[in-house]
Amino acid sequence: MQKMKADNLVGIGNHNQRRIDNHSNKDIDVDRSHLNYDLVEGRTENYKRDIEKFINENKASQRATRKDAVLVNEWIISSDRFFFDELDDKETERFFEDAKDFFAERFGDENIRYAQVHLDERTPHMHLGIVPFDDENKLSAKRVFNKAALQEVQEELPKYLNERGFELQRGEKGSDKKHLPVEEYKAYKDAKFDLENEISALEREVKQRKDEVKKLITGKYGKLDYEKLGVKNQLKTVEVKTGEKNIFGVEKTETKRVKTGNVVMLDENFRLLAKNYEELVAVKRSFEKYLDTDLIKENKALDKVADEYMEMAYKSSDVANELKAENDRLREENKSLKEQVQSLKQEVKSIYHTVRDILKRAMSNSNSVKGLMSVIAEKVSEDVPKPEFGRLDDQERMRERKRTRGMSR
């Protein structure tokens, strides 16, 4: 809620009625301004002139109104964009009409001098202007909108709208937070929107890195050079029946060498394979915490952002302060996600070099290692757009070409 004095009415009138071409609010889409409407159209054409006339014609006292008197208390009635996405044009108008009726029942229908609905901004909302006449037709914003009245609006407006089919939440009871101007509220709201978009982008990048890592640790990297490792099948000698019989009628047998199912290799090579296996297991474990992380669940609170916006009808000051606190929280979350993305990139880099070292030790041909690393990078890129693994492989191949050119000079 904002308190409007005589000097404020010209500016707020020009803004609400879109009487100027250059708007400081960049959210305004002038191509949609024709969709705006006033639910009490005809009561106020010129804010300053017509509201002052209404006050002079209806006030109990014949004395002149003080120059610093509050002539209008303006409320901003809205919810979030997700709420309005579920409503068609008629339901949206009914929402604002019901909200207007709530204030009319408590503060007098005739005292509502404008109910300007804006559909040309990011989120639909209504500017509701109420002349603060008390029961004796005395102008007093302090008495009409005292703490008890504000608390009643805060508690009763959502109930009133819920009874009419709209799902809203009640404001924080007993809040004594300071009021903030509309411009500052919108700044918090826009900052929140930008932060949410940035967090969504970071979440997508984290998911991309996870998919890349998952493919790396679950994929196949080709065949090892068993000959180089000296791996041989263990054989044993067995007697096998031939199916023939000798002159005495006894079935003939012959000696054969068959595989036992075991392999033998040099102790040095066995230790090398064991070391490689341990390294791969360690890499896999280091990623389990990332693969098991449910970022969507951790950021579930973001799904409730819409609920906070709807409270500005009955606790505009509370919402503005909550948005500021939420923005601070989102910045911290944003920072955490950036750190996680960086950590994932480092882990992918570690996997790349670990796999490359293992393949170098296990394969005799260095060109085969390069080719296999490229194949792995290509396989990863099939499922993961712009993979870090592929970028590292391209980087490594570039270094290799530079080294080769340097040696040939």
Q: Which pLDDT score, from 0 to 100, does residue 302 have?
A: 47
State residue 243 phi and psi, 5-degree precision.
95, -5
Element (H, E) at 100: helix 89-107
State the Cα–Cα distance between residues 239 and 377, nearest whole angstrom.
50
Q: Which pLDDT score, from 0 to 100, does residue 331 have?
A: 76
Single out the residue of 49, 29, 346, 33 nearest to residue 213, CA to CA: 346
Q: Which pLDDT score, from 0 to 100, does residue 264 have?
A: 77
Q: Which pLDDT score, from 0 to 100, does residue 351 have?
A: 74
pLDDT along the chain (409 residues), means of 10: 90 88 74 93 94 94 90 92 88 96 96 95 93 94 93 92 83 50 58 66 72 62 61 80 78 82 77 73 63 50 46 50 69 74 73 72 64 66 59 74 67
By 3-state DSSP, what share of the chain in percent is helix, strand and coil, each rounded to 5?
Answer: 60, 15, 25
Instruction: Identify whether the C-beta of residue 216 lies closer than 8 Å to the C-beta of residue 351.
Output: yes
What does the radius of gyration of the chain's CA atoms come to, in whole angstroms? 37
The token duo for 32 is 């949609």
State residue 196 phi and psi, 5-degree precision.
-65, -40
